[in-house]
Amino acid sequence: MVHTVPIHNFFVGGEALTVIAGPCSLESLDLGLEIGQTAKEICDRLGMNYIFKASYDKANRTSIHSYRGPGLEKGLAQLAEIKEKLSVPVLTDIHESWQAEPVAEVADILQIPAFLCRQTDLLVAAAQTRRALHIKKAQFLAPQDMKQVVEKCREAGNEKILLCERGTTMGYNQLVVDMRSLVLMRSLGCPVVFDATHSVQMPGGKGTSSGGDRRFALPLARAAAAIGIDGLFIETHPDPDKAKSDGPNMVPLKKLEYFLFQIKEIWNFVENTIEKVNLDWAEEA
């Protein structure tokens, strides 16, 4: 049985699909407000829950010279203002254990980056804030191995866990999505989120930064919605080619409603017409 996770005034895993969307990095307060306001209005029209996401510090950029964000103090102040002005929950990632407590004072959801999802001290520190956790499955980890990740958080006293599929390493600079991951992680009792834009990333593919191919974000998201997901993660930007990070795989903001409408139609059909795929259907009676 999948436990729903309360966020703001809704439940992830409840009666509506949750969309987590925003820029990769906080480039400016104005840009964050523009993207958040647009995404919120789209989700309201489509009957979807909305969570704003952005990183105050991208500590895992390819190059030491790459833009990382405004930093903890300024970034949290921007997230707090976006949260208040738009009346939306916010999500951001942490990279070190000491960041969990100050970030939890602002963020409704703490995100654990994929590369760090096995870091016990980081997981425990995040879990002990009692904030909801959005944990990305590592590119090198089998979906069933996320059971141990979940147990670490539960042992620390936190059941508010979302698990996210963001692609698996398939050779150098390439990711592939194994859609079985969504079913397997859901069997752990946690709502599952599909990261449509990082799944089309090409890690380090441009030498000093990651590449990507946004053309495949929508087809993969449609497939995930058909299988059964509780949330959809998307990075979006008014001009992705000028974004300071992750531009090649981001969805243009002007295309976001077109994108989400298709996902909503498929998701509604699955929710209202057929049972979500689970691992019990093939069992002998």
The domain made up of 5-273 is a member of CATH 3.20.20.70? yes
Element (H or E) spanning 245, and its range? Answer: none
- Are residues 196 and 222 in contact, defined by beta-carbon separation less than 8 angstroms? no
Question: How many other β-carbons are positioned within 10 Å of the β-carbon of residue 223?
Answer: 15
Give the pLDDT of residue 59.
Answer: 85
Q: Judging by beta carbons within 10 Å of its beta carbon (0-12, 13-18, 19+), is residue 189 exposed, middle or buried?
A: middle
- Residue 41: the pLDDT is 98
Helices 146-155 and 120-128, packing angle to 10 deg: 40
3-class DSSP state for residue 66? coil
pLDDT given at position 2: 72
Residue segments in the chain with a per-residue pLDDT below the cut of 50: none
- Rounded distance, CA 223 to CA 270, Å? 11
In this predicted structure, what is the pLDDT of residue 276? 61
> CA–CA separation, 38 vs 34, rounded Å?
6
pLDDT at residue 62 in the model: 81
Enter the tokens of residue 91: 């999500």
Rounded to 5, what percent of the chain is helix, strand, coil?
40, 20, 40
Q: What percent of the chain has pLDDT over 90?
A: 83
By three-state DSSP, how is residue 109 classified?
strand
